[in-house]
Amino acid sequence: MSMIEVEKLTRDYGAGKGVFDLSFSVEKGEAFGFLGPNGAGKTTTIRHLMGFLKCRSGSCRIGGRDCWKERDEIQRRLGYIPGEISFFEDMTGTEFLRFLRWYRNVGVLSREKELLEYFELNPDTKIRKMSKGMKQKLGITAALMHDPAILILDEPTSGLDPLMQSRFIELMQREKQRGKTILLSSHMFEEVERTCDTIGIIRQGKLAEVDSVENLRKRHVRSYTVTLETEELAEAFARDFGGEARGREAVVFTRQSLEDIFMHYYGGEQK
């Protein structure tokens, strides 16, 4: 069952900016990685999914609901981390989380305490006095505290130190195992590679590729041919590096990293 559906979404801002005939879906329990540089159309897509923008052409649905017409219900039920988080700066973190419990009409949640402890955040500080990393931890807690079934995450580890980035990835791996549906937009290749089942690469507002991580790696394989002095050396080289010997030549195949695959779509003209 598709929990997130984008079909033929188009929003043209002019000068080649926007998204054009964009279609993809995220199945229940799947983690979908949305890759592309700034300005490629990732955040525009997410804003349509969140009901912040009305589809002018095409459609967006979450859990079978229209993202514009039923946006209030959708926003209450899913977990969302925006690329640029805005808070009520005069509140403390505790007051902000209390406000969200009221807005979502849920009681005191044990998940809130669990997340605060996991990310080592004391929420009693005024938000305006928090560092970027503390605000990001507060945003993550706010997105996950009501244990939503669907997560839409736009650069979720921005501002976190490497330790907390790793903790976040581990948390997402557990959330996926619990059957959560995740749409993750990120510049962090390791974050996407360790979390996601399927990758969508967006370029100039159009999907350049959608496939599983496994299939992408199988399709993007580099081969190297090394010529050595003797057949024996070629056989030894091929054996050591998992290749095959052809006379004095050793042929070795290596799978590319997700970053290499991404640059195939974005850096090909320069290389």
In tens, the pLDDT along 99-138 reads 988 888 776 667 899 999 999 999 999 999 999 999 999 9
Share above pLDDT 90 across residues of the chain, in percent, rounded to a whole number: 53
Residues of the chain with CATH 3.40.50.300: 2-212
- Name the residue among 186, 165, 151 with its Cα closest to residue 30: 151
Q: Determine the pLDDT at residue 76.
A: 83
235: confidence class by pLDDT, cuts 50, 70, 90: confident
pTM of the model: 0.80
At 134-170, the pLDDT tens digits run 999 999 999 999 999 999 999 999 889 999 999 999 9
Q: Which CATH number fits domain 2-212: 2.60.40.10, 3.60.20.40, 3.90.245.10, 3.40.50.300?
A: 3.40.50.300
- The beta-carbon contacts of 37-45 under 8 Å, at least 24 apart in sequence, are 37/187, 37/266, 40/202, 40/203, 40/204, 40/205, 41/202, 41/204, 41/205, 41/206, 42/154, 42/185, 42/202, 43/83, 43/154, 43/185, 44/11, 44/18, 44/19, 44/205, 45/6, 45/9, 45/19, 45/202
Is the pLDDT score of 196 beyond 80?
Answer: yes
